[in-house]
Structure 1
C-alpha cells in the first residue's frame, strides 16, 4: 500500500479540529483513520487527537495477534476502546464536557478493505475510474434521505446537514457501522472529513483521482475545497493498492 494524507484548517475556522493517522504494515497491509472533532474551546481538537492516538496504540499492541477472518471483530473492538478513551476524557475533565469526534477507519489486507465509522466522515473506494461511497453518513439529513422525505440534492444544501447522530466519545457505548469491500491493484481508498465532501462533489473528486498523480492528489483535493469556500477543516487520506501486494497476498 502507498499512503498520502493532508489536513488543512480551511478558510473559516480558528483552529483545525481534524486529525488523522495512517501506517503501512508488513505484508502489504495498511490502516488509516480520519477524525473530525467537535465541542468546547479545545474539546474537538483533543477528542480527535485522543481517537487517532488510541487507535494507533491499539494497532501497535494487537496487530500481531490478528487472525485472518477476524478483521471485523478486531477493528470494531478498536473503535470501542477508542470511544471509551474519548468518553473518559470528556467525563473526567469539566472543560472537555460534551466533546466528541467522528471517526472513519480502514484496514486493508489480502484484497479486502475493512471499514468502521461513526459520524459523517466518509470512506470511498476509487475503482476503475469511478468513485463509490462505502460509508453511510450518521446524520439527521441522511435519515431524511433514507426515509424519502428529502432528496440527495436537497440534503447537500440542508441547513442542518452537519447534525450527526453518532460520534466517538459522546456516550460510554457506541454502535459503529462496519462495511467491507474488495480491493485490487490500482484501487484507492479515500478517507475524508466533511470539509472535503461538503465543498467538492463526488464526480469532481473522482476526476482528480483519475487525472492527478497519487501523491499530488491530496493537496489538489484540498485546493478544490478551499476554492469552493473552505468552510470547514479539510482532511484527505488516500491508501493506494499496489501490484506487489495483490500478487503476494
Structure 2
C-alpha cells in the first residue's frame, strides 16, 4: 500500500478543524483515518486531534492481536475506544462541552478494505476509472434522500446539508457504520472531508485520480476545491493498492 495525504484550511475558515493519520503496516497492509471536528472555539480541532491520536494508539497497541476474519470487530472496537476518548474530554472540560468530530477509518490489505465511519466524511473506491462512494452520509439531508423526499441533486444545494446525525464524542456510546469492499492492485481508496466533496463533483475527482500521478493527486484535488470556493477545511487521504510480490524462494 502507498499513502498520500494533505489537509488545507480552505479559503473561508479561521482555523483547520480537520485532522488525519495514516500508516503503512507489515504485510502490505495500511490504515488511515480522516476527521472533521466541530464545536466551540477550539473544540472541533481538539476533537479531531484526539480521535486521530487515539486511533493511532489503538492500532499500535492492538494490531498484533488482530486475527484474519476479525477485521470488522477490530476496527469497530477502535471506533468505540476513540469515541470514548473524545467524549471523556468533552464532558470533563467545560470549554469543550458539545464538541465532536466525524470520522472515517479504513484498514486495507489482503484483498479487502474494511471501513467504519460516523458523520459525513466519506470513503470512496476508485477502480478501473470509476469512483464509487462506499460510505453513506450520516446527515439530515441523506435521510431525506433515502426517504425519497429530495433528489441527490437537491441534496447538494440543501441549506442544512452540514447537519450530521452521528459523530464521535457527542454521546458515551456510538453506533458507527461498517462497510467492506474488495480491492486489487491499481485501486485507490479515498478518505476525505466534505470540504472536498461539497466543492467538486465525484466525476471530477475520478478524472483527477485517472489522469494525475498518485502522489500529485492530493494537491491537485485540494487546488480544485480551493478554485471552487474552498468554503471549508479540505482533507484528502489516498491509499493506493500495489501489486503484492510473492517470493516462493
- For residues 191 and 129 of structure 1, the distance between their equivalents in structure 2, rounded to whole angstroms, comes to 17
Q: Work out the number of aligned pairs and report it.
A: 247
1:47-82 deviations in whole A, cap 9, x for unaligned?
000000000000000001100000000000000000
1:133-189 deviations in whole A, cap 9, x for unaligned?
000000000000000000000000000000000000000000000000000000000
Q: Report the 3-state secondary structure (helix = DSSP H, G, I; strand = E; otherwise coil) of the residue aligned with 1:83.
A: helix
Matched, 1:161 2:161: yes
- Provide the residue aligned with 2:131 in structure 1: 131
Q: Report the 3-state secondary structure (helix = DSSP H, G, I; strand = E; otherwise coil) of the residue aligned with 1:149.
A: coil
- For residues 63 and 161 of structure 2, the distance between their equivalents in structure 1, rounded to whole angstroms, comes to 36
Post-superposition offset of 1:109: 1.6
* Superposition RMSD in Å: 0.7
Q: Report the 3-state secondary structure (helix = DSSP H, G, I; strand = E; otherwise coil) of the residue aligned with 1:243.
A: coil
Q: Report the 3-state secondary structure (helix = DSSP H, G, I; strand = E; otherwise coil) of the residue aligned with 1:125.
A: strand
Matched, 1:173 2:173: yes
- Please list every run of 5 or more consecutive structure 2 residues that lacks an aligned counterpart in the other structure: none
- For residues 100 and 219 of structure 1, the distance between their equivalents in structure 2, rounded to whole angstroms, comes to 27
- TM-score normalized by the length of structure 2: 0.98
Post-superposition offset of 1:244: 2.0
- TM-score normalized by the length of structure 1: 0.98
Q: Report the 3-state secondary structure (helix = DSSP H, G, I; strand = E; otherwise coil) of the residue aligned with 2:117.
A: strand
- For residues 236 and 161 of structure 2, the distance between their equivalents in structure 1, rounded to whole angstroms, comes to 20
- For residues 35 and 138 of structure 1, the distance between their equivalents in structure 2, rounded to whole angstroms, comes to 14
- Provide the residue aligned with 2:43 in structure 1: 43
Runs of 4+ in 1 over 3 A off after TM superposition: none
- For residues 7 and 151 of structure 1, the distance between their equivalents in structure 2, rounded to whole angstroms, comes to 30
